[in-house]
């Protein structure tokens, strides 16, 4: 028996409309897999069976392997996304319409608790 030792493609794609890297065939961003692997210390099996069964074990392993080979680049990509998200949050929270909405929401919740 002879094994074919061909390079395999990484199951990731650039979702242009949302400016995010996702796992092929899903809407799961690479950030989510990396977070679970790094921060939550989840195994590939846990990620594939508990967190994201739609991704599948083979793809989870492939994404983790890609991450480990390109750690600096992926970490920089994730840091850029986190900075952009923080900036957007600051913009939204500074908007007077947002403040008014949050005040109405708090008042509604308070009145519901009082009932």
pLDDT, residue 36, reads 98
Residue 29's DSSP bridge partners are: 22
- Residue 111's pLDDT band, with cuts at 50, 70 and 90, is confident
- Summarised one tens digit per residue, pLDDT across range 22-73 is 999 999 999 999 999 999 999 999 999 999 999 999 999 999 999 999 999 9
Instruction: Please spell the DSSP secondary structure of 7-66, one letter per residue.
Output: ----SEEEETTTTEEEETTSS-BHHHHHHHHHTS---HHHIIIII-TTT-HHHHHHHHHH
- Summarised one tens digit per residue, pLDDT across range 79-96 is 999 999 999 999 999 998
pTM, rounded to two decimals: 0.80
Interacting residues of 31 by C-beta distance below 8 A, sequence separation 6+: 20, 21, 78, 81
CB 55 within 8 A of CB 33: yes
The Cα–Cα gap between 77 and 47 comes to 21
pLDDT, residue 56, reads 96
């Amino acid at each position: 028996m002879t094994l074919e030792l061909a390079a395999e493609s990484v199951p990731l794609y650039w979702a242009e409309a949302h400016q995010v890297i996702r796992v092929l065939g899903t809407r799961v961003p690479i950030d989510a897999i990396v977070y679970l692997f790094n921060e939550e210390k989840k195994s590939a099996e846990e990620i594939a069976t508990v967190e994201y069964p739609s991704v599948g074990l083979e793809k989870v392993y492939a994404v983790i392997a890609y991450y480990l080979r390109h750690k600096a680049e992926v970490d920089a990509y994730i840091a850029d996304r986190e900075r952009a998200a923080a900036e957007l949050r600051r913009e939204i929270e500074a908007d007077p319409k947002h403040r008014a909405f949050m005040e109405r929401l708090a008042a509604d919740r308070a009145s519901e608790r009082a009932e």
